[in-house]
Structure 1
Amino acid sequence: MSTRRIAFQGELGANSHEACSTYFPDHQPVPHATFEEAFEAVKTADCQLGMIPVENSIAGRVADVHHLLPSSGLKILAEKFKPIHFQLMANPGVKLEDVRTASSMAIALGQCRKTIRRLKLKTEAVGDTAGAARMLAQNPDPTRAAISPALAAEIYGLEILARDIEDEHHNTTRFLVMTADKQPQPPPFTAPCITSFIFRVRNLPAALYKALGGFATNGVNMTKLESYQEDGAWTATFFYAEVDGRPEDRGLALAFEELGFFSERFEVLGVYPADPFRTRG
């Protein structure tokens, strides 16, 4: 088995576990109860990489992640988009018509409403999709099923009764791959790139407007701009942003120069190849 490890938040069999196995099959996936613990595992070199979900095409931004990125001391090495599929699974030998209740994470139950309604199932929310499968395996019940990723059925010895039951089959989660390397190897020069950064503007009138002006005047495409509070303070608003290109590009270099003039803090969190998923129709 590989000695290289990749940290994720959640239980074995979760979507993040599937993402680790899909994109880094040579790394051993290591589960952690919280995002903080997953970040710390990478920071302390217990794991070489971290697989962190940041947004979902249906549910939006993953809570608690953005404010952890700059404080973690880690860098973004890559982005990965993973289609999300949910399976209805039960203990071996259970028939679909016997199932009365389905358990899963609340967000997963919400993304499978049509199937749940068609099968006339009651629902029970639990803290983790894979955790629902684990609990069902530990406490067999012919009237209950779990809604979890396919990997969970394999790990916990359950049988899939209905496959890909999500309402929207374009449901996709975007993951960031994190590393403790302060200067990770730069992406190939020919590859389209994304640059992620955080900043906090100076206390000046129209500071945000002025700070962002350089991106427009230099033709830089900003694909994401989100605000968040640090340490619960209402007076200091940070911004997390993503742009096309790399800091060495003339347009982005000039935009960053202008941003820096109007910001009291500015930090690049990562420069990494744009996932080909972005250009799919």
Structure 2
Amino acid sequence: MITVAYQGEPGSNSAAATAALHPGSTGLPCTSFEQALDAVTLGTADLAVIPVDNSAAGRVADVHHLLPGSGLSIIAEHFLPIRFDLVAVPHGTPQQIECVRSHVHALSQCRKILREGGWRTLVSQDTAGAAREVAELGDPRHAALAPPAAAREYGLRVVRAGVEDDPDNTTRFVVLSREPVLPEDTGAPTMSSLFFCVRNIPSALYKALGGFASNAVNITKIESYQMGAGLNPSRFYIEIEGHPDEPRVALALEELDFFSSEVRLLGVYPAHPYRREGHEQ
């Protein structure tokens, strides 16, 4: 049985993603993304499951800050539909609620019900942790926005189910491993994640990315960031459709390498069916 680290508490969306990806695995709850990655690096866990972006709230974890120094590789992705319930202690009534607590992203994804209730909000470190806090308080004035599993986990009552603003709300998770897993190029839809730093010459970024356009390789994500202060060259994180062994992808990567001072392949993994169903991230 494998052990999978995730940020959050039992009943969280990360725990649900872990169960969906690896049924029967042992979950290792962690207080931060860094702690989850360290668990894999140190061998306490076999894998880590990390949320990277949400269709409503945008970026969740700063992958480009977490991964370069970790030595870990992305081996899979998973898209999880996000559902939130308003939960409270069993003996309370909706009319008694005065304060709703949850993770900051959950609060931003459930603005409609918060406006309707006129409740004050309190930010918790984790959605499932917010449910646990409500259970521990035992105060009917406090409620939480939490995933459906959290009410069962902490013995709470669902006051109102499915309160997320967007019914298509989805979070993308990646699975991280100590050892890279390079799947064979079978022609099946594949994603590749890379970091690169362009050379300090005019139009370097334009030229580095030109190979993807000329070879019909789709870039699904590009993010820029800087390491440290000062005028250090910008670094970039990109995700592309395709396998490095495909001729068109290999040509694009060759051009990228020519105009870059550093290129690092972070992972090659099967594209999740969610992409093939025509959804956008």
Under a length normalisation based on structure 2, what TM-score does the superposition of the two structures give?
0.94
Q: Quick check: 2:53–2:173 contact (8 Å CA) kept in 1?
A: yes
Q: Alpha carbon RMSD of aligned pairs, Å? A: 1.5
User: Which of 260, 267, 270 in structure 2 is aligned with 1:273?
Assistant: 270
Q: Quick check: 1:35–1:65 contact (8 Å CA) kept in 2?
A: no
Q: Quick check: 1:108–1:129 contact (8 Å CA) kept in 2?
A: yes
Superposed, 1:7-156 pairs within 5 Å as 7-156=5-154
Q: Does 1:197 align with 2:194?
A: yes
In structure 2, distance between residues paired with 1:62 and 1:75 = 18
Aligned length in residues: 278
Superposed displacement of residue 149, structure 1:
0.8
Name which of structure 1's ranges 153-162 and 243-252 shifts more when overlaid on structure 2.
153-162
In structure 1, distance between residues paired with 2:80 and 2:236 = 25
In structure 1, distance between residues paired with 2:152 and 2:184 = 35
Per-residue CA deviation, residues 214-272 of structure 1 (Å, 9 max, x unaligned), is 11111111111111122445412110001111011111101111111111110111111
| Residue in structure 2 matched with residue 210 of structure 1 by the alignment | 207
User: Which of 231, 236, 241 in structure 2 is aligned with 1:239?
Assistant: 236
Superposed displacement of residue 12, structure 1:
2.2
Superposed displacement of residue 100, structure 1:
2.1
| Unmatched runs of 5 consecutive residues or more in structure 1 | none
- Which segments of structure 1 move beyond 3 Å, counting only runs of 4 or more? 231-234
Superposed displacement of residue 63, structure 1:
4.2
Percent identity between matched residues is 47
Give the counterpart letter for 2:46 in structure 1: Q
In structure 2, distance between residues paired with 1:164 and 1:18 = 16
In structure 2, distance between residues paired with 1:41 and 1:117 = 39
In structure 2, distance between residues paired with 1:231 and 1:134 = 38
| Residue in structure 2 matched with residue 225 of structure 1 by the alignment | 222
SS in 2 for 1:30: strand
Name which of structure 1's ranges 222-231 and 262-271 shifts more when overlaid on structure 2.
222-231
